């Protein structure tokens, strides 16, 4: 359905990146082949920065200093099983932590005279755990939202029973019977209010060391990317509080990424200001990091359109997308054709020239037959 909606929105490429899971990857690839839409697949995992200069700093994981989200981009199809084997134990630990958080939320509800929550009854059915899918705090918030809606007026229950503040703009949305997005608005509100009261920090079992995790990503031909969050003002999905993150020490962080094994930095143009992203782009260029763009679809209010990438300041992100598509298909045919493989024939060329070469290959590929991707060639003036 995600691929179909991307196709109907007029996109030329679509990606699947799930938390702790690649269970949607092959379905995404198959759907792209059927529709003639270029595809790329990956996963998002959380890592520990213990033992690095950022061990106690707030990175991109709001609740957990010293821990961060990273992305394995462009996983070759023949390596998906290896990635799943790496992710499975992380997912299992997360299930038990989410079970414990569900109990904490249930205790709050019962104390407030509301029906309690049960992990297996209320949360698990909202997930695809039985099919290898992941579970996140959003599933817990969705279960809590459903329970509140069944119990009465959620706004009244939140303010009077749970003593949670409902912002004025959300109050209007949550009390509007004609609002088709009301459930997702409520989920977003609970993520910024209720979650603080029930959150349990993940252990190192759930967040493996950053260097080892990045090394694994490279070993399977994926492109490890740090996921930039940046200081948040107005959240596009309504589920992030205004907070300060990496911006105060961004120069130091980006400079350190290559030494930690990262090849790329990924970000979402709608989430940040133009000034933030122009600064980020200069740092990526300075330290040779591939820029990859993608946007979370966390709410029915969001569109599959991202007008920001049509602006001249972000045109290069479209090139990166096509380069990523070509990398993924070529690395599955021959690991040495992976974009960052040390024995890649183009390894000595400037980053911009390699991106352009791979982007041309991605565009030239027949998306209904991934093996049709041509080998990338440098322009004559870069030889």
pLDDT in tens, 174-187: 999 999 999 999 99
Which CATH number does 2-84+206-314 carry?
3.20.20.140
pLDDT higher than 90, residue 149:
yes
Every domain of the chain and the residues it spans: 2-84+206-314, 88-198
> 302 or 73, which is more confident?
73
Question: Locate tokens 């940046």: which residue?
Answer: 230
Higher pLDDT, 286 or 62: 286
User: Which pLDDT score is estimated for 63?
Assistant: 85
Q: Contact at 8 Å (CB) between 45 and 69?
A: yes
Give percent of the chain above pLDDT 90.
Answer: 87
Rounded Cα distance between 25 and 155, Å, is 38
**Residue 222 · residue 72 · CB < 8 Å:** yes
pLDDT at 332 over 80: yes
Q: What strands lie across the sheet with 13-19, from one edge to the other?
A: 13-19, 38-48, 67-73, 223-227, 264-267, 290-293
Helices (H), the chain: 2-8, 25-35, 80-111, 137-151, 154-156, 168-174, 182-192, 194-198, 210-219, 250-257, 274-287, 315-333, 351-364
Q: What is the pLDDT of residue 242?
A: 64
pLDDT in tens, 280-305: 999 999 999 999 998 888 788 888 88
pLDDT tens-digit series, residues 15-58: 999 999 999 999 999 999 999 999 999 999 999 999 999 999 99
Name the band, by pLDDT with cuts 50, 70 and 90, for residue 233. low
- 236: confidence class by pLDDT, cuts 50, 70, 90: very low
Instruction: Tell me the pTM.
Output: 0.93
Instruction: Count Cβ neighbours within 10 Å for each residue of 358-371 and write b for 16 or more, e otherwise.
Output: bbbbbbebebeebe
364-383 pLDDT, tens digit each: 999 999 899 999 999 875 55
Residue count of the chain? 383
257-275, pLDDT tens digit by residue? 999 999 999 999 988 999 9
């Amino acid at each position: 359905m995600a691929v179909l909606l991307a196709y109907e929105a007029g996109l030329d490429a679509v990606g699947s990146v799930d938390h702790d899971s690649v269970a949607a990857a092959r379905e995404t690839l198959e759907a792209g082949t059927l529709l003639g839409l270029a595809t790329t697949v990956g996963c998002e995992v959380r890592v520990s920065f213990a033992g690095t200069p950022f061990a106690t700093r707030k990175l991109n994981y709001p609740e957990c200093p010293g821990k961060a989200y990273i992305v394995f981009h462009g996983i070759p199809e023949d390596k998906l099983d290896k990635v799943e084997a790496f992710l499975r134990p992380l997912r299992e630990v997360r299930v038990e932590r989410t079970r414990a958080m569900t109990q904490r939320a249930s205790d709050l509800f019962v104390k407030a005279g509301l029906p309690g929550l049960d992990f297996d009854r209320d949360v698990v059915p909202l997930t695809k755990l039985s099919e290898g899918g992941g579970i996140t705090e959003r599933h817990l918030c969705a279960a809590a939202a459903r329970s509140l809606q069944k119990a009465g007026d959620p706004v009244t229950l939140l303010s009077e029973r749970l003593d949670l503040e409902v912002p004025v703009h959300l109050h209007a949305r949550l009390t509007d019977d004609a609002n088709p997005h009301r459930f997702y608005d409520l989920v977003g509100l609970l993520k910024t209010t209720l979650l603080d009261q029930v959150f349990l920090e993940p252990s190192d079992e759930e967040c493996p060391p950053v260097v080892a995790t990045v090394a694994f990503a490279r070993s399977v031909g994926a492109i490890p990317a740090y996921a930039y969050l940046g200081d948040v003002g107005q959240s596009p999905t309504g589920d992030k509080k205004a907070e300060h993150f990496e911006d105060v020490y961004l120069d130091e962080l980006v400079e350190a990424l290559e030494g930690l094994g990262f090849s790329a930095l990924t970000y979402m143009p709608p989430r940040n200001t133009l000034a933030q992203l122009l600064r980020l782009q200069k740092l990526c260029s300075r330290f040779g990091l591939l820029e990859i763009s993608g946007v979370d679809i966390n709410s029915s209010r969001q569109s599959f359109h991202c007008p920001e990438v049509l602006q001249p300041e972000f045109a290069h992100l479209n090139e990166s997308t096509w380069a990523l598509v070509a990398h993924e298909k070529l690395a599955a045919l021959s690991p040495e054709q992976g974009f960052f493989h040390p024995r890649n024939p183009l390894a000595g060329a400037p980053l911009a020239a390699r991106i352009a070469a791979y982007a041309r290959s991605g565009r030239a590929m027949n998306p209904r037959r991934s093996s049709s991707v041509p080998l990338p060639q440098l322009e004559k003036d870069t030889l």
